[in-house]
Amino acid sequence: MDLDLEKFFDRVQHDVLMARVARRVKDKRVLWLIRRYLQAGMMEGGVVSPRTEGTPQGSPLSPLLSNILLDELDKELERRGHKFVRYADDCNVYVKSEAAGKRVMASLENFLTKRLRLKVNRDKSAVAKPTERKFLGYSFRPDRKGKIRLTVAPKSIQRLKDKLRAEFRRGRGRKLTATIEVINKKTRGWVNYFKLSGFEYIFRSLDGWIRRHLRAIQWRQWKTPTTRVRKLLGLGLTPEQAKGVCNRCRAWRNAKAPPMQQALTNARLAGMGFVSLLETYRRLVCAS
């Protein structure tokens, strides 16, 4: 069961939040400062308007206050004996059946509305199998033995590809090594975040997809048939192999053709600086 709170940071009730904070903080001066912080005005169209609910977004104090408020939800779930995981306003609760999930969803919605004055976002919340939902970019799927493991959610992979496509377009007008350097910066942190995934094929597939794009960029930069043949010969291909490329085909198709793969091998791209996502993933798994 995936539970999401609607516009949580915009709709937190100040009095409800301060009542929870006051249980832990006894210094009235600190409580006064937190209250003033919550009531800090918002700039809209050059005019400052007062804040009557919600917490200022982007501040390091807002997540702390949200955890103080939602700690009551954690305690309620623990009291009921549910298995759950929560990060800020996003929470997954794991039950044994769909019927149980619907009951828990209804009771938690009632609890959040009456006790914490919060509203559940029904569009983003759902009762479904863990393999059908995602949490913080991760999802679940069974491995070959039927064991459920963490995996990267398809939307997370798509977002990474969208970011890299923008760099591939920019890469047509700069050196391939410069594009590779930018790609490495974007993928290094991504792999580190998703190192808990139990499936190597995701990183292997992304490696192949990125390498094909890099070969396509190089193909475009060579521009003319004569230059392409000359460059391929310089990269160790025989005249027959170099002349066998299809200059009328698009770059994306030629990037997968044997001549380009033999000329710009994985090892050669690595020598130009490309850091394999799969190798990075394996190194992080071994180190953990």
User: What confidence tens digit (pLDDT) does each residue in 246-283 have?
Assistant: 777 788 998 998 889 999 999 999 999 999 999 999 99
Residue 44 confidence (pLDDT): 65
Give the C-alpha distances (Å, rounded to integers) separating 236 from 133, 232, 242.
48, 7, 9
Give the C-alpha distances (Å, rounded to integers) separating 137 from 12, 150, 153, 216.
25, 10, 6, 29
> Which segments within the chain are labelled E, that is strand?
2-4, 42-44, 47-49, 83-87, 90-94, 138-142, 148-152
What is the DSSP track for 132-143? G--BTTEEEEE-
- Which tens digits make up the pLDDT trace of 47-57? 666 677 888 77
Judged by DSSP in three states, 91 sits in strand
Give percent of the chain above pLDDT 90.
Answer: 62
CA atoms within 13 A on the CB side of 154: 4
Residue 46 confidence (pLDDT): 65
Q: Give the separation between CA 194 and CA 228, rounded to whole angstroms.
A: 38
Q: Which of 105, 108, 71, 110 is nearest to 88 (CA)?
A: 71
Can you give the pTM of this predicted structure?
0.82
Q: Give the separation between CA 166 and CA 22, rounded to whole angstroms.
A: 49
Q: Give the separation between CA 96 and CA 280, rounded to whole angstroms.
A: 36
The arithmetic mean of pLDDT across residues 113-118, rounded, is 92
The arithmetic mean of pLDDT across residues 226-235, rounded, is 90
